[in-house]
């Protein structure tokens, strides 16, 4: 029983064994020799409360706050002993504060429930009792066979059983999990791959044994034991047969899979960090201030108690004839009296702790956050999205950011590669409206000037863009393609792009239709550059329509050509190029190579090498990503040798990599240069300016991306994160601990030697984990000295780890994370402030973020204007609250000197009650919603102003002391001002009647 | 921000001054040319106000006499000597002779002042029952517990009015006599003992219990007066409109003072020949000395005072205004000097910009 309770409360992990055994379709063995394991259901829970635990849990959470708990104690004290004020004076404000907070939190949780229900209630198809049953996502149990149709998202972690293809393969995209946009192929075990119908699946008897859930997206180990004709077949299962929740099925009509991890145990859910309540720096300093005030309060109470007893030593003060005690009072124990006096003073002075501070701060945050959503400058017109506030608790934290961690794809960039320019045989072309236009008239190429004229005609009738202009000069385009035939073939053949083959039938036969066709074709590539190039080629007129194992099909101006794919020499980052060897329809064997100019140009023996080199440099200066294309015609003799050597290398058992590299070296030489391409990874609007502004505001920008090293660096350069003048340090491909340490020390030395210029650091995931494991300090030191850091090849949890590392470093800086994909969720949740970009990769990030914006550039207004305002507002609000309560209660303390420390109240109890919850909280609330100490335009155009408020300056101990002393001095003025004004209780009015009563009302300065 | 109504998206925020935080605001730049005149004007205004207050306070006449009767301080010493014990009070008379060389302008108010008397002690100030005092018959016979130890007599009778405040009612009385000619007879100056309490107090807060058979005494039947009182509450005054709980002396006393030194209004002098004030001549205040104060080191004073539009004599407000006003002017001059001294430099800076 006790263990059950502990399990329910989550103290004991429910799983005891290292592996879980899953009976597919929950067909348990008949002989009963198994221990049933319990698995959780497929519900995703992000809400905090349920209907029945809301009241106790919420109360518990609220009373964990110092101030609330304190007021509860005071309230209880007032109930127990005879105190100067009635329990209502502190009970009522407490009740009010608790209620308002509970309503707000309940409302927010209700919204979370709604979104949970949406996810958990999504319809899914499950194979049950021989038929396909439609049910809700939350009802999937471990062991259920689930059917997923094309473009659906997997509702749980599934092991692939079969697809509509014979080989049991399917394609998925994990863009929303790790940001990778390419298609990944997953395969089923051959024994189950043949079970393509519900009926045949029903006959399957199999057991899966696999490890317990873990967060690593890329690791999975298990085995499937299939019972067929009375014999057991054991098949290993790896990550290639695991379909993760959150990934999307592509390119495959339907698949069947068996659920193995469900609900909060899926890898996606495990990668989300549990939603711990984020607390802002302001709230932390608020707690410190509260404790200081608590100390002031207790010391005032102690002083008063002691003074009371020294005063009362004389009987004439303790018990003059006009004010006698009762027998009971005379006989009560001295110690008890002392304690009860102390408590009574505590109650008397308790209003020095501002009870309504939290509730006013919360109202201010809640109401103030509307301004973010309302801001037109944060509204993105194209996508019709306005900024969205998910947590209002962190508004002021936006004004405190010291580190910005940003994702790359989709955050800095549009997540869209765009072909821009190319250089073919030494002639530069630009793509304008889907047409290639040569740049500047070249004397020896007549078509250059012609297309230049064409481009003019484009400008003249923009409305009829491509169609009309194409019809007027189809020959030019055709000639262009014919002339540079090989270049375009290279572009459309030399790649590893996958194609979404379902929609290919939509492509017409006409040569010009292909110009509009790309939208109907869906290309998936591991490198977005390749995708952009293939798409560009398709726009020009050479459409890649598909590849099977052996052949690649392209349509050149509508004419279908089939190339036999002989070899692919894969890309690797040492060679920085890739090649394909194809056999053309006419039987020639061609090698096409594509790669960075530094790796292609030296290998070339022919072509316009010099001109191309100049062009490439020009492209690079524009921030475009360049690739060079080259080819080589192979004689059949040459090819045979290549084929043989490749085969040998690929099948070599030892030193395969070195051998392969040698062969590649041998093959890729004596190339003919075809030209170069320039692709723009289209940055989002104003990213460079925003990053520049962030830097001016004293914020360090780190780019964390799952992307490859090269891509990441080039984007970093083009978005201004890295400057060309920067000295770029690299910490990549570290394999061992000692190596990594050595490299780090070397980097640190280099920084020290060369501290004049700025440094940028590039780290990759594996090196990072090595660096973090042993050499955290050294690594942090290097990082702090670099003005820009780029981390590539990062797993989602690693991103969060980096942020945690920065967060807990000695300076405790405030961090902000921006991201758009589900792979950014953990970092968004880890950072002090998480910002989601409402981008293409679903709304996962936006949902889990604290603030969601449509574009990266909005960050500058969000931080410099809203963040600045909120910070100033809340800082003033907090300081004012403490100030006003000092002002309010100190006269009470001073008054005790004039009333024999008898705990007489200076104020009426109604005034005591209302002072905090309405008299003084409403005006400052309005102030803290609307105050603009500096014009917003000035704030935005001068990011350096952001430094003014860094490090929580407005709430430092110094300013706090200033306010407190101000409060005390005002209290003295109020008290003694009134004291002398009242004097001997003479009349203040013209009727001669004395004015004073026990209650003197003081008003405080507002 | 350019957008047309047709191009508006469904989620586009409203473009209003409020939502875009463009509400009109006044952000004064406190330059020297604004701040300096402001300081001088404020300083002058404060000084003017301060002078006015100070002089009107100074114009108020006050005449006070300590009749506690510490040894060697006049003829009340004899009474004071007898005041070693506490209540019940003894009956003793003493007198204070004084002469006015000129008219004491009216209206003149007669106060008594007590020092070191802590009416603001919490135990004391809660020792009353407001429902009883509002005349509720049920509360009359069931005084609140706060009144203890003056809740019930030893005999069990409820005390009306209960509590320490009522019990310690100030019971010295004064009569004022005027001698117009030296050696002439003393004429009693009429003292108006009404209109000395707040209107709300004696018409709302304090009510007598409903009469029984037309008699207030019967209404209080079954209650006992506070132990220190020689007579019951309904005999405080022969005037039926000024007796019982609404007796004005009683009401004035029940409104407790905030500080240990306080004055309470005893009477107004506004009748007959004395409506314009006290004419010159010799006076005699006949004091019935009942109230013991020496046990707690207190003093009793009798005070004649007139008032102005700003109330009683209190130079504090005038002085405060004068001080603040002078500080303003002083600061204004300091800033003026700083401004003139550094003005040129400032201009140069601006030119550089």
HEC profile of A6-72: HHHHCCCCCCCCCEEEEEHHHCCCCCCCCCCCCCCCCCCCCCCCCCCCHHHHHHHHHHCCHHHHHHH
Q: What is the pLDDT of residues B105-158, one digit of tens each?
A: 878 889 999 999 988 888 898 899 999 999 888 888 899 988 888 999 988 899
Q: Is A164 known to sit in a ligand binding site?
A: no
Residues of A in contact with B301 (CB under 8 A): none
Of the ranges A482-486, A578-582, A639-643, which one carries the lowest mean pLDDT score? A482-486
Active site residue A216: no
Distance separating alpha carbons of residues B24 and A988, to the nearest angstrom: 41
Return the sign of the alpha-carbon dihedral for residues A564, A567, A573, A575.
negative
Q: Is A996 in contact with B258 (Cβ distance < 8 A)? A: yes
Average pLDDT over residues A195-207: 84
Strands A222-228 and A231-237: antiparallel
B258/A373 CB distance under 8 A:
no
**Residues pairing with B212 in the sheet:** B215
Distance CA B217, CA B235 (A): 8
Q: Average pLDDT for residues B223-229, to the nearest whole number?
A: 91
Task: Mark yes or no for CB contact B21/A984 under 8 Å.
Answer: no
Does pLDDT of A443 surpass 80?
no
ipTM confidence = 0.90
Question: Is the per-residue pLDDT at A515 higher than 50?
Answer: no
Nearest chain B residue to A324 by CA: give it: B149
Query: Between B124, B259, B311, which is nearest A990 by CB?
Result: B311
- In the prediction, which pLDDT does A268 show? 79
Query: How confident is the model over A771-795, as a mean pLDDT?
Result: 83
A358: three-class secondary structure by DSSP = helix
Closest residue to B20, CB basis, from A323, A375, A905: A375
Predicted confidence at residue B285, as pLDDT, reads 93
Residue A29, both tokens: 């063995």
- Residues 319-348, chain B, touching A (beta carbon < 8 A): 320
* pLDDT over 70 (residue A192): yes
Residue B258 has its nearest CB partner, among A902, A936, A1000, at A1000
Summarised one tens digit per residue, pLDDT across range A560-619 is 888 888 888 877 767 778 888 888 888 888 888 988 877 888 888 888 888 888 888 888
Measured distance CA(A630)–CA(A537) in Å, rounded: 16
Lowest mean pLDDT among A16-30, A175-189, A246-260, A583-597: A175-189
For residue B168, the chain A residue with the least C-alpha distance is A322
Burial of A383-397, coded b for 16+ CB within 10 Å and e otherwise, reads eebbbbbbbbbbbbb
Name B255's bridge partners. Answer: none
The reply to whether A551 sits in an annotated binding site is: no
- Selected residue of A369, A377, A985, A999 to mutate for chain B interface (largest B Cβ count, 10 A): A985
Mean pLDDT of A108-115: 85
* Model pLDDT, residue B353: 41
Range in A161-175, A431-445, A707-721 with the lowest mean pLDDT:
A431-445
Question: Which chain B residue has the Cα nearest residue A367?
Answer: B19
pLDDT band at residue A33, thresholds of 50, 70 and 90?
low
pLDDT(A923) > 60: yes
pLDDT on residue A500: 64
Question: By CA distance, what is B227's nearest residue in A?
Answer: A322
Residue B217 has pLDDT above 50, yes or no: yes
DSSP track, A71-123: HHHHHHHHHHS--SS-HHHHHHHHHHHHHHHHHHHHHHHHHHHHHHHHHHT-E
Nearest to A528 by CA among A708, A686, A705, A674: A708
- Residue B154 contacts A, CB cutoff 8 Å: no
Could you tell me which residues come within 8 angstroms of residue A688 by beta carbon, excluding any fewer than 6 positions away?
A719, A720
Nearest CB to B11; choose among A322, A384, A932? A384
Lowest-confidence region among A324-328, A670-674, B182-186:
A324-328
- What is the C-alpha end-to-end distance of chain B, expressed in Å? 31
A845-849, B231-235, B342-346: range with highest mean pLDDT: B231-235
A778 near B CB under 8 A: no
DSSP H or E stretch at residue A145? strand A145-149
Q: Provide the pLDDT confidence category of residue A6 given band limits of 50, 70 and 90.
A: low
Residue B194 contacts A where some CB pair is shorter than 8 Å: no
pLDDT reported for residue A474:
44
Please say if the pLDDT value at position A462 is more than 60: no
Q: Which stretch of DSSP H or E encloses residue B305?
A: strand B300-306
Mean pLDDT across chain A: 80
User: With an 8 Å Cβ cutoff, is B295 touching chain A?
Assistant: yes
Q: How far is CA A325 from CA A332, A865, B146, in A?
A: 11, 64, 11
Does A898 contact B at CB distance below 8 Å? yes
For residues A674-687, one letter each, b for 16 or more C-beta atoms within 10 angstroms of the residue's C-beta and e for the rest, the string is: bbbbbbbbebbebb
Tell me: the pLDDT tens digits for B72-118? 777 788 777 765 554 445 678 888 999 999 999 878 889 999 999 98
pLDDT higher than threshold 70 for residue A298: yes
Cβ of B305 within 8 Å of Cβ of A986? The answer is yes
What token pair was written down for A49? 């409360």
Average pLDDT rounded to a whole number, residues A503-514: 38
Contact B124 A322 (CB under 8 A): yes
Tell whether residue A706 is among the known ligand binding residues.
Answer: yes
Q: Which of B120, B315, B320 to probe the A interface (max A CBs under 10 A)? A: B120
Which range (A332-346, A463-477, A544-558) has the least confidence? Answer: A463-477
Residue B246, Ramachandran bin (φ over 0: left; ψ between -120 and 50: alpha; else beta):
alpha
pLDDT at A526: 65
Residue-wise pLDDT for A214-240, tens only, equals: 877 777 888 888 888 778 888 888 888
Distance between CA A889 and CA A715 in Å, rounded?
A: 59
Q: Tokens 């469904």 correspond to what residue?
A: B10
> Does A320 contact B264 at a Cβ distance shorter than 8 Å?
no
Q: What is the largest CA-CA distance in chain B?
A: 106
Nearest CA in chain A to B198: A993
Reported as a single tens digit per residue, the pLDDT across B316-346 is 889 999 999 999 999 999 999 998 888 777 6
Q: What is the model's pLDDT at position A820?
A: 82
- Report residue A424's pLDDT band, with 50, 70 and 90 as the boundaries: confident
Reduced to 3 states (helix: H, G, I; strand: E, B; else coil), residue B23 is coil
pLDDT per position as a tens digit, A494-507: 887 777 654 434 33
Strands A131-136 and A123-128, bridge-based pairing: antiparallel
Arithmetic mean of pLDDT over chain B = 85
> What average pLDDT score do residues A686-697 get?
91
A820 is in an annotated binding site: yes
Q: Place A871 in a pLDDT band, splitting at 50, 70 and 90.
A: very high
- Put simply, the answer to whether A987 touches B309 (Cβ < 8 Å) is no
Among A124-128, A441-445, A639-643, B229-233, name the one with the lowest average pLDDT. A441-445
> Residue B122's pLDDT is what?
87
Residue A940 forms contact with B (CB below 8 Å): no
Whether chain A has a CB inside 8 Å of the CB on B153: the answer is: no
Interface A-B, measured as beta-carbon pairs within 8 A, has a size of 173
* Percent share of chain A, pLDDT over 70: 85
**Over residues A120-141, mean pLDDT:** 86
Nearest alpha carbon to residue A296 among A340, A354, A343, A349: A349
Say whether residue B167 is in contact with chain A using an 8 A CB cutoff. Answer: yes
Residue in B109, B113, B316 closest to A992 by CB: B109
Instruction: Assign A875 a pLDDT band (cuts: 50, 70, 90).
Output: very high
pLDDT per position as a tens digit, A135-157: 898 888 888 889 998 888 898 99
> Measured between CB atoms, does B317 come within 8 Å of chain A?
yes
In this predicted structure, what is the pLDDT of residue A513? Answer: 37
What does the pLDDT read at residue A237? 84
> What per-residue confidence (pLDDT) applies to A939?
92
- Please tell me the total number of residues recorded for chain A in this structure: 1006
Which of the following is catalytic: A407, A529, A764, A850?
A407
Contact A384 B123 (CB under 8 A): no
Q: Where are the alpha helices (DSSP H) in A484-562?
A: 485-493, 528-540
Instruction: Say if CB A427 and CB A448 are below 8 A apart.
Output: yes
Q: What's the average model confidence in pLDDT over A501-517? A: 40
Q: Is A410 annotated as a binding residue?
A: no
pLDDT beyond 70 at B49 = yes
Least CB–CB distance from A993: residue in B19, B196, B317? B196
Mean pLDDT value of segment A746-759? 82
Are A992 and B268 spatial neighbours (Cβ–Cβ below 8 Å)?
A: yes
Is the model's pLDDT at A517 over the cut of 60?
A: no
């Amino acid at each position: 029983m006790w263990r059950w309770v502990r399990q329910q409360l989550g103290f004991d992990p429910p799983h005891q064994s290292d592996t879980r055994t899953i009976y597919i379709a929950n067909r348990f063995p008949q002989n009963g020799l198994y221990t049933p394991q319990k698995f959780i259901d497929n519900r995703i829970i992000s809400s905090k409360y349920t209907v029945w635990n809301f009241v106790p849990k919420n109360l518990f959470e609220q009373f964990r706050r110092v101030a609330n708990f304190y007021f509860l104690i005071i309230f209880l004290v007032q109930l127990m002993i005879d105190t100067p004020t009635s329990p209502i004076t502190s009970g009522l404000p407490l009740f009010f504060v608790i209620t308002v907070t509970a309503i707000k939190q309940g409302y927010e949780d209700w919204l979370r429930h709604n979104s949970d229900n949406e996810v958990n209630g999504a319809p899914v198809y499950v194979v049950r009792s021989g038929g396909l049953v439609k049910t809700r996502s939350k009802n999937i149990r471990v062991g259920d066979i689930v059917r997923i149709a094309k473009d659906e998202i997997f509702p749980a972690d599934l092991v692939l059983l079969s697809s509509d293809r014979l080989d049991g393969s399917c394609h998925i995209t994990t863009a929303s999990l790790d940001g990778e946009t390419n298609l990944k192929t997953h395969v089923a075990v051959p024994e189950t791959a043949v079970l393509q119908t519900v009926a045949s699946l029903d006959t399957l008897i199999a057991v899966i044994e696999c490890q317990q859930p873990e967060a690593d997206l890329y690791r999975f180990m298990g085995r499937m034991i299939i019972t067929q004709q009375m014999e057991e077949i054991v098949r290993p299962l790896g990550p290639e047969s695991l379909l993760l929740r959150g990934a999307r099925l592509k390119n495959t009509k339907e698949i069947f899979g068996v659920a193995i991890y469900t609900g909060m145990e899926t890898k996606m859910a495990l990668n989300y960090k549990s939603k711990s309540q984020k607390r802002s720096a302001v709230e932390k300093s608020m707690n410190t201030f509260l404790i200081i005030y608590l100390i002031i309060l207790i010391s005032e109470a102690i002083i008063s108690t002691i003074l009371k007893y020294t005063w009362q030593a004389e009987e004439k003060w303790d018990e003059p004839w006009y004010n006698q005690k009762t027998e009971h009072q005379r006989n009560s124990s001295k110690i008890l009296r002392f304690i009860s006096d102390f408590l009574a003073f505590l109650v008397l002075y308790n209003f020095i702790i501002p009870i309504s501070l939290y509730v006013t701060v919360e109202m201010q945050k809640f109401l103030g956050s509307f301004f973010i959503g309302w801001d037109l400058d944060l509204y993105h017109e194209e996508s019709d999205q306005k900024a969205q506030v998910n947590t209002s608790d962190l508004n002021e934290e936006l004004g405190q950011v010291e580190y910005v961690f940003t994702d790359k794809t989709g955050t800095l960039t549009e997540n869209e590669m765009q072909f821009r320019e190319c250089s073919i045989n030494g002639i530069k072309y630009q793509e304008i409206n889907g047409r290639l236009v040569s740049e500047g008239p070249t004397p020896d190429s007549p078509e250059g000037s012609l297309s230049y004229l064409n481009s003019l005609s484009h400008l003249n009738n923009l409305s009829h863009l491509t169609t009309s202009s194409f019809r007027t000069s189809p020959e030019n385009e055709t000639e262009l393609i014919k002339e540079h035939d090989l270049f375009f073939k290279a572009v459309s053949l030399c790649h590893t792009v996958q194609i979404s083959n379902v929609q290919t039938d939509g492509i017409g036969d006409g040569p010009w239709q292909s110009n509009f066709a790309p939208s109907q074709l869906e290309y998936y590539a591991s490198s977005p550059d390749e995708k952009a190039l293939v798409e560009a080629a398709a726009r020009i007129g050479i459409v890649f329509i598909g590849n099977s194992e052996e052949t690649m099909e392209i349509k050149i101006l509508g004419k279908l050509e089939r190339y036999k794919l002989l070899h692919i020499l894969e890309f690797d980052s040492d060679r920085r190029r890739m090649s394909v060897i194809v056999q053309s329809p006419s039987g020639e064997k061609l090698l096409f190579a594509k790669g960075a100019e530094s790796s292609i140009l030296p290998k070339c023996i022919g072509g316009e090498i010099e001109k191309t080199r100049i062009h490439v440099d020009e492209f690079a200066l524009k921030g475009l990503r360049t690739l060079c294309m080259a080819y080589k015609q192979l004689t059949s003799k040459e090819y045979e040798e290549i084929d043989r050597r490749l085969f040998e290398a690929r099948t070599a058992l030892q030193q395969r990599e070195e051998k392969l590299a040698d062969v590649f070296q041998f093959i890729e030489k004596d190339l003919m240069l075809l030209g170069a391409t320039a692709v723009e990874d289209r940055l989002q609007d104003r990213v460079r300016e925003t990053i520049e502004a962030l830097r001016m505001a004293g914020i360090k920008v780190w780019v964390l991306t799952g992307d490859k090293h090269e891509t990441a660096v080039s984007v970093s350069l083009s978005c201004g994160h890295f400057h060309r003048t920067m000295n770029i340090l690299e910490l990549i491909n570290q394999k061992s601990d000692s190596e990594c340490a050595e490299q780090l020390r070397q980097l640190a030395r280099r920084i020290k030697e060369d501290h004049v210029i700025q440094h940028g650091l590039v780290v990759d995931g594996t090196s990072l984990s090595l660096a973090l494991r042993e050499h955290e300090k050294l690594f942090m030191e290097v990082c702090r000295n670099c003005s820009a850091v780029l981390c590539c090849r990062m797993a989602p949890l690693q991103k969060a780890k980096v942020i945690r590392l920065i967060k807990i470093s000695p300076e405790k800086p405030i961090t902000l994370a921006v991201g758009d994909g589900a792979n950014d969720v953990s970092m968004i949740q880890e950072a002090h402030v998480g910002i989601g970009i409402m981008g293409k990769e679903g709304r996962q990030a936006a949902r889990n973020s604290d603030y969601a914006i449509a574009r990266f550039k909005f960050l500058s207004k969000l931080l410099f204007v809203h963040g600045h305002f909120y910070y100033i507002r809340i800082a003033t609000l907090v300081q004012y609250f403490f100030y006003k309560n000092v002002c309010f209660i100190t006269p009470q303390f001073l008054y005790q000197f004039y009333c024999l420390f008898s705990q007489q109240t200076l104020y009426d109890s109604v005034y005591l009650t209302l002072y905090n919850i309405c008299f003084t909280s409403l005006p400052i609330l309005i102030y803290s919603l609307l105050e603009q100490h500096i014009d917003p335009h000035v704030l935005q155009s001068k990011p350096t102003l952001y430094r003014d408020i860094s490090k929580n300056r407005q709430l430092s101990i110094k300013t706090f002391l200033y306010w407190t002393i101000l409060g005390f001095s005002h209290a003295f003025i109020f008290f003694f001002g009134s004291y002398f004004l009242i004097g001997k209780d003479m009349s203040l009015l013209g009727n001669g009647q004395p004015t004073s009563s026990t209650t003197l009302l003081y008003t405080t300065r507002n | 921000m350019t957008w047309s109504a047709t191009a508006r998206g469904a989620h586009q925020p409203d473009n209003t001054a409020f939502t875009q935080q463009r509400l009109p605001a006044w952000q004064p730049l406190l330059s020297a040319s604004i701040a300096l005149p402001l300081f001088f004007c404020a300083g002058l205004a404060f000084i003017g106000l301060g002078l006015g207050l100070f002089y009107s306070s100074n114009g108020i006449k006050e005449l006070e006499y300590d009749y506690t009767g510490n040894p060697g301080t006049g003829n009340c010493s004899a009474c004071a000597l007898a005041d070693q014990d506490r209540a019940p009070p003894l009956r003793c008379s003493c007198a204070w002779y004084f002469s006015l060389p000129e008219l004491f302008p009216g209206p003149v108010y007669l106060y008594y002042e007590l020092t070191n008397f802590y009416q603001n002690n919490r135990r004391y100030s809660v020792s009353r029952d407001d429902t009883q005092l509002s005349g509720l018959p049920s509360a009359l016979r069931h005084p609140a517990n706060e009144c203890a130890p003056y809740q019930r007599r030893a005999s069990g009778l409820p005390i009306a009015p209960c509590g320490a405040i009522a019990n310690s009612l100030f019971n010295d009385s004064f009569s004022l006599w005027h001698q117009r000619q030296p050696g002439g007879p003393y004429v009693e100056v009429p003292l108006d003992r009404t209109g000395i309490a707040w209107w709300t107090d004696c018409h709302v807060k304090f009510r007598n219990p409903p009469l029984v058979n037309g008699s207030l005494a019967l209404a209080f039947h079954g209650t006992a007066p506070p132990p220190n009182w020689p007579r019951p509450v309904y005999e405080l005054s022969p005037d039926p409109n000024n007796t019982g709980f609404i007796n004005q002396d009683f009401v004035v006393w029940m409104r407790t003072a905030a500080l240990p030194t306080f004055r309470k209004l005893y009477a107004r002098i506004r009748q007959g020949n004395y409506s314009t004030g006290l004419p010159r001549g010799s006076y005699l205040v006949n004091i019935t000395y009942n109230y013991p104060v020496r046990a707690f080191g207190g003093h009793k004073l009798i005070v004649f005072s007139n008032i102005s539009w700003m109330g009683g004599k209190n130079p504090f407000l005038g002085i405060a205004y004068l001080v603040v006003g002078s500080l303003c002017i002083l600061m204004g001059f300091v800033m003026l000097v700083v401004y003139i001294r550094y003005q040129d430099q400032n201009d140069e800076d601006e030119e550089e910009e």
